[in-house]
Structures are given as structure tokens and as C-alpha cells.
A and B are shown apart, each in its own frame.
Chain A
Amino acid sequence: MVIDSISNGIVIDHITSGKSMVLYRYLNLEKLTCSVAIIKNAPSSKNGKKDIIKIDELIDINVDMLGYLDPGVSVNIIKDGVIVNKFQPELPERLIGVIKCKNPRCISQEEQELTHIFKLTDREKRIYRCIYCEAGSSAVN
């Protein structure tokens, strides 16, 4: 399988195998008009298999969202055919509108228009808590 190399764009590499469609959805990539390639089950030296997303345009991606959904990924920013920046997103301190509080007693369940906000309370265990009711949600979907 051959995918044209990108001259200006973003490559999200080392996506946990099978998670590329989740990232595609959460990052709103379906709204893009440029070409987006999703490579599933590519061979990986680390984990056997990985997914890769290639975006043929330098868009603003939600790094927090990426860090939350799949913290093992690496992001390559490519300009004029060269990788100008490569980083691994960290678990974000706050998740704004990414996940929803499931506590039925939480005010966010009653007021539909309230933005669901979570803060990271335990980086090691990847635990986020709703800022309103403090109900926990571990960062595994």
C-alpha cells in the first residue's frame, strides 16, 4: 500500500491499533476538505501493529484530546517535506467538552447546555474528575 508522502501536513503516528477511527471522529477530521489517509494495522516495531493518520494540511489539532484518547501517539508536523516538529502529547490537565459526566446526581446531567469539564487528579492512574461533582472517570474509553 502506497500513500503519497506529505509535503505540508500532520502525521499522527503510533496510534494504538484500531483507534484511528475514534481519533478521526473526536478530532472532527471528517470536516476537512484536504486529503486524509487512515492506515490501519500497519506494522510497528513497538507493538506489532499500529494505526497512522496522515492529514495533508497544517490544521490545528486538539492536542489535549489526542493526549487523552491515546497518549502513546506521536505527532509529526511536516513543512516542505521535512519534519519540523515531533512530539508526544501529554495527558491534558483539563478536558473541556471531551467526555461526559455519568453521575446521575450531577448538575451537568440536569442542565443539558452545561459544558462538561474534567480535571486531571491522578496522572499516573489517568484519573479525571468532573469539576462539578468530582465523580471520577478513568481515561480509558
Chain B
Amino acid sequence: MRSIIDILDLSVEEIDSLINTACDIIENPDKYCDKCKRKKLATLFFEPSTRTRLSFEAAMYELGGNVIGFSAANNSSAAKGESVSDTVKTVSCYADIIAMRHPKEGAPMVASMAASVPVINAGDGGHNHPTQTLADLLTIYREKGSFNNLTVGLCGDLKFGRTVHSLINALSRYSGINFILISPDELKLPDYVTNNVLKKYNIPYEETTDLLEAMPKLDILYMTRVQRERFFNEQDYIRLKDSYILTPDKLDTAKQDLCIMHPLPRVNEISVAVDNDKRACYFKQVKNGKYMRMALILMLLGVE
């Protein structure tokens, strides 16, 4: 049974094929509106994440399928001490496919080992969130036409930002990508990503603390949130949180076809004034996320 736990569970060819399907869905939505008729998606959200859950549910409804599930652990079986394995074995009896969010790292992997239907990781703690990366990839593809020869700026919390790590993993498989890593020293990309991905595959990258200096070189600017809970003390957080806020004036030197991305939700790392800039792509990302989830559900269910 095929499950998707990590973005690297998908080959480059499979990602290409998901992108093709997603683009076809965008062009011909009617063609897909009955593809998953009588199929059920179970959304098992052991911690709440309204936007991810809504995206999966919207994806399944647009394919003509149905959705069952629960959100947050306090009103589910997990609160009564049932194991993840037992929960998904039960759910496998009702549903054709599972999307699972869990606060503990590796829980969807445990689920995939026990389930008799495909499991999609909808986020496991700070670990993996492959469908976010799929949304990011479709956005880059639709804005740029390909994944080759792009300068990708990643800005903000590169230490704990799981979306950043999986995006680096995914993009490193294409040719001509180079990264500019923009973060405070405290939140630099961890060594295991630099060593095991960037250095290992000879991907050109530079590290800087200066967003403005990097700006003119960028084809993609991927912003992330600097979260309060990542800091040991409040002063560090307050000192740093505003250093990487994107405002319209900072975009003066940016390329005209820059693509500004953010996994959302944002707090204040992108000023609302940037939303009207045609280069702002973060709400397109949300929409693209739904199309990629549709394509992924089709793939995992083996629907032609």
C-alpha cells in the first residue's frame, strides 16, 4: 500500500506527473468532478489545523468523493489512550484513503505501517509536511514554467522551518537551482540539511543575514515565520522578529517577475500592503495546494 510520508517518497517523475494532473484539473475541472465518486477520505487530525484539513476536504469534494474524520485529539479515541495503529486499522475499515495530522513526529509513518489504505502525512509536528511542498512546487512551476535555473531565497526561520527543509530536498533534485539562505544566525539552516543535501549534491548556496542585499538576485522569495516558541528568551525574539518582515519598500530592487511565497498562516512577516503586488503568490499557493492534493489522492487511489 503506497503512502506519502515524506516529499522524497515521490520520485521526480511522479512529481512531474502530479503537476501535470494538477494543471489538467485546473484546465478541465469538470473532467474530474466524479473521479472519486463513492470514495471516502478520512481526515484524522490529532491536532487542529483548519487550513490543511479544509484543503484536503475541498480536494476530495471536488473529486466527487466524501469525507469523514475528526479534528483535535481531545474528542477522539486518542484521548482514551488508543494507539495510532489501532485507530488507523479501524479507520481503514471505513475509508479508502487517510490524511493524517499528528503532533508527534513519525506518527503518520506508524499509521502507514498499520493501515490497509494509503496514508498521506498532513503534517507531523515539526517533521514533514509533504503536501505543503507539493503546493510550493506547483506554485513555482506555474509561475516560472520549470524548476531549472532558479535562484531561490529562503527567508526567516530556516532552523525549525520544516517546509523550508522539504522544499530544499525537493528542489535539489533539479538542475541549476541555487539557494540564498537568509536568516538570523540563531535560525540558520541546520548542518544536517547543508551537509546531507546542499553539499552532498553540490548545490550552490550562500548564507546571509541581509534580506535587502539578496533581494535583486532572487527569482523566488520564500518567507517563513519566526516563531516566539523557538526562542529561549523574549528579548531575542523581539530583537529578531521584525528583521525579516517583507514590506513594499524592500521590494524596490526585486526582479519584476519575482515570486513571493509563504506557507501561511502569516503573522506579520509579510506586510498586508504587499498583498496587492502582482508578485505576491502566497494565496495562489493555497489554491495550488488543493489541486496538488487532488492529484495526489487520484494517484494514491489509482484512479485514471
Contact = CB atoms under 8 A, between A and B. Distances in A.
Contacts of A103: 105
Contacts of A80: none
A106 interface: yes
Interface in A50-104: 103
A110 B69 CA distance: 22
Given A105-B125, A105-B126, A131 B83 contact: no
B109 A132 contact: yes
Contacts of B107: 107, 132
Contact of A106 (B83, B84, B85, B106): B106
Nearest to A111: B83
Main secondary structure of the interface of B (DSSP, over half): mixed
A2 interface: no
Main secondary structure of the interface of A (DSSP, over half): loop
Nearest to A101: B106
A59 to B, nearest CB: 30
A108 to B, nearest CB: 7
Interface in A105-139: 105-111, 113-114, 130-136
Contact of B109 (A109, A110, A113, A131): A131
B110 interface: yes
B104 A114 contact: no
Given A105-B126, A107-B84, A111-B84, A133 B110 contact: no
A16 B286 CA distance: 57
Interface of B: 83-85, 102, 104-107, 109-110, 124-127, 192
Interface of A: 103, 105-111, 113-114, 130-136
- Which 8 residue pairs of A and B lie closest in terms of their CB atoms, listed nearest first? A132-B106, A133-B105, A107-B104, A133-B106, A107-B107, A107-B106, A105-B105, A132-B109
